[in-house]
Chains A and B, each alone.
Chain A
């Protein structure tokens, strides 16, 4: 148990659906991250939030929309996804963005049909 919880663990959605992924940490960390892990690429950083403010958007398509209402919660809103967006989406947190140790959740396995 890393202290970072993601829900749901598995999600199947159609290309016209809207869904949201949730991440929660009660470690007192100030930085939170979304990563994409797919079968054909290394782990890709998507978004970084620091003290609830987005500090990094790694050229992510607008069909992925993050939200960070407070330092403990991070959402990834999904809309009009493509089959190639199917992947494992991992949330992580760290005390600060400068820290090398990030704590990852178990991920949400997303399948777009």
Chain B
């Protein structure tokens, strides 16, 4: 994505394998946690969200897990495809201000054919 130049952590996986992308957060007052994907030359794209009162949510080929005890969020992608290659950002939406999104620094996912 356009975030090239950042020293992003990189995850390389083989096509067809499952991917797990992790994110640590610090704000306990967040109401929602969200995953976005940014492909090269494009803006971020919404993948899935999870409300803070949930532990797990599933979408199409994706699962988000929320562990509030250790303030950890993960995105699991099943049967990773080359089209999944992108930078993945976690984001928080605080309870006290719905105007705000706080984005993490991102993880680059490389899918090897």
Contact = CB atoms under 8 A, between A and B. Distances in A.
B98 A39 contact: no
**For the side of the interface on B, what is the size category?**
20 to 34
Contact of A100 (B4, B5, B34, B102): B34
Interface stretch (B12-20, B67-75, B103-111): B103-111
Nearest to B104: A42
A66 interface: no
A48 interface: yes
Interface stretch (A14-22, A68-76, A104-112): A104-112
27 contacts: A2-B43, A4-B43, A39-B3, A39-B5, A40-B6, A42-B104, A43-B89, A43-B103, A44-B103, A45-B100, A45-B102, A48-B100, A50-B99, A56-B99, A56-B100, A88-B2, A90-B43, A92-B43, A92-B44, A98-B98, A100-B46, A100-B49, A101-B49, A102-B44, A102-B101, A107-B2, A109-B2
Given A39-B4, A39-B6, 7 more contacts: A4-B43, A42-B89, A43-B101, A45-B102, A92-B44, A104-B42, A106-B41
